[in-house]
Chains A and B, each alone.
Chain A
């Protein structure tokens, strides 16, 4: 497996190089072409021959030329040759860097200051004071960390496995039924604020569905304060999170399963694969590895970025901080107390946790089926 991968890599590199060489050759050919057209005397066939001949010649020249150049010269040469590409990525990269990359750097820088938007005084550099305050003094932040991790470690893996299982199970249905089932499972994740209905279903008074049914059956004497009771709030939020979690990863799995070559399964059956679970482990999962990686990123990011829904359901802050997550800490210090320096430290910690979780899971997934 490893060997084959390396081989592929080598091929890919070679391909890329010949591609570059070819495009140089083609530029030459283009020039020839126009001169030929100008003179109007050379037939098409001979133009073609000339072009290929030229291509061979330049190919030789090119390889030598690359060896002659230092790496820096070569890069500069390539940059000049492809300068149009920089023009094409410029608008996107400008906005992307300004609103996605720069904020991370700015958060890191600000996290070492005590910048405060209300007082507007800041001793430029206070070292790691914000971080020591976070981890040694701020009990609520530690509680939020615990909640966030519990939340993410349940919703992340469960939603991931659920997405895959459902996608795998519906894979063998006929296309029309599959489309309908896909819609039913995918709809909650795209329909905006429909999750607020959970607040009605589990509302605090007797008119909520769940309280109503339980009271009617005589299982409870008085209404339960579902989202405002620390015993139930977290569990309910996790249920709602799972309900909404069959999103992008789910679609990616459905699509990935469709692209697996069917003849692989026939060959495997001949080779003695006995049931669908063996098929899953030995063929489906290894073939799906790229989608599994992408799905994992989506699931992890989703499970950490769930603050808004919790706020809408449990209020802010939630009862006894039972559902207080890092996102809520951030909102608290960032946009209510305006302690930007401290909030930046929280943001950066959250950033590190997310990137860390992703890297870890990607490492684990790269071992699937090997």
Chain B
């Protein structure tokens, strides 16, 4: 006789109590390991100065204060380049890079997924291969390319390469394969839609989760842009760079630096919370078929 139990109003097969307990134990240990450093950052950012340097270090905060965040802004407003400039740079890079990547990737993904042109298998093959190595490999050659193009010390040196990032295209193409039926596109073409109009009016609304995911991925990558070897001028540096300078300021700024880290991490996490269900939906079709 099979073991059957009821969980979440569903009959569950083949589950032993011992196994469930073991798994719960494993998850709790892992969860604590994952969460503890994050918790520590948050606690650090709320500690007043006298609590930051208590020995031995404490796991909790007695008198939480927002003073560190205030200090952070005082520090930043004293900087030689106005702080708003760093924010502008990061927002500009993130917005331009994400927009271009979204536009280029979704056009290309649509063509590769839904138009049977000769060469599309080759295109996709090479895009899949590009997921297999990191940008470290291409950094030196890109330095030469960008300096030849005269894009050194220009925000576009970061933005333009982001347009050709292949991760978003890959996810988008896989999602289009599984979620848009050819019949719908066919009937749109039959009604006299041009290929561009079919793409924009029919296909794009159907792959909303995929382009949200693409935006998130591109956003995360660009938001965390730190110091780059293509940018020299102080007024073109990013928020992440400015904040890492504060962190490098040593122990006197421990509180402000924790506050800065919290601000930098909160944005991607909020974005993920909002878009989690869409991302998971997109990931369902992310698999590689050989």
Contact = CB atoms under 8 A, between A and B. Distances in A.
B166 A96 contact: yes
A153 interface: no
Contact of A300 (B132, B166, B287): B132
B116 to A, nearest CB: 6
Contacts of B116: 16, 19-20, 78, 82
Interface string A265-278: 11001100111101
B212 interface: no
A60 B103 CA distance: 39
Contact of A85 (B26, B117, B244, B264): B117
Interface in A60-96: 75, 78-79, 82, 84-86, 88-89, 91-96
A196 B132 contact: no
Interface stretch (A137-145, A212-220, A227-235): A212-220
B89 interface: no
Contacts of A184: 31, 34-35
Contacts of A344: 140-141
Contact of B280 (A207, A209, A251): A251
A197 interface: yes
Contacts of A185: 30-31, 34
Nearest to B104: A92
Given A23-B186, A166-B27, A207-B53, A194 B41 contact: yes
A101 interface: yes
A292 B261 CA distance: 33
B283 A252 contact: yes
Nearest to A351: B137
A interface: dominant SS? helix
Contacts of A30: 189-190, 192
A47 to B, nearest CB: 11
A338 B71 CA distance: 40
Interface string B113-128: 0011111100100110
Interface stretch (A127-135, A167-175, A316-324): A167-175
Nearest to B244: A193
A290 B264 contact: no
A147 interface: no
Nearest to A198: B37
Interface in A6-39: 16, 19-20, 22-23, 26, 29-30
Nearest to B140: A334
| Interface-central residue, A100, A103, A340, A347, by most chain B CB under 10 Å | A100
A358 B132 contact: yes
Interface residues of A, number: 119
B37 A188 contact: yes
Contacts of A297: 131-132, 288
Nearest to B283: A255
Nearest to A278: B14
Given A201-B37, A258-B280, A294 B118 contact: no
B140 to A, nearest CB: 4
A335 interface: yes
B269 A183 contact: yes
Given A107-B141, A269-B14, A100 B130 contact: yes
Contact of B199 (A88, A95, A290, A343): A88
B interface: dominant SS? helix
B247 interface: yes
B137 A347 contact: yes
Contacts of B37: 188, 194-195, 197-198, 201, 243
A222 interface: no
Contacts, number: 320
Contact of A89 (B16, B41, B107): B107
Contacts of B282: 255
B31 to A, nearest CB: 6
B2 interface: yes
Contact of A293 (B53, B127, B166, B290): B290
B115 to A, nearest CB: 4
Contacts of B31: 181, 184-185
Interface stretch (B60-68, B72-80, B156-164): B156-164
A193 B104 contact: no
A191 B186 contact: no
A290 B288 contact: yes
A279 B14 contact: yes
B25 to A, nearest CB: 11
Interface string A282-315: 0000001111111001101100110100000000
A22 B160 CA distance: 39
B238 to A, nearest CB: 11
A207 B57 contact: yes
Interface of A: 16, 19-20, 22-23, 26, 29-30, 75, 78-79, 82, 84-86, 88-89, 91-104, 106-107, 110, 162, 165-166, 169-170, 172, 174, 179, 181-188, 190-198, 200-201, 206-209, 212-213, 215-216, 243, 246, 248, 251-252, 254-256, 258-259, 265-266, 269-270, 273-276, 278-279, 288-294, 297-298, 300-301, 304-305, 307, 327, 330, 334-335, 340, 343-344, 347-348, 350-351, 354-355, 358, 362, 366
8 interchain residue pairs of minimum CB distance: A290-B287, A95-B164, A305-B134, A103-B141, A191-B265, A255-B283, A103-B138, A82-B117
Given A243-B33, A297-B131, 17 more contacts: A20-B116, A26-B186, A79-B118, A85-B120, A96-B127, A103-B145, A107-B138, A162-B30, A208-B57, A248-B286, A251-B279, A278-B14, A343-B140, A344-B140, A344-B141, A350-B137, A362-B290
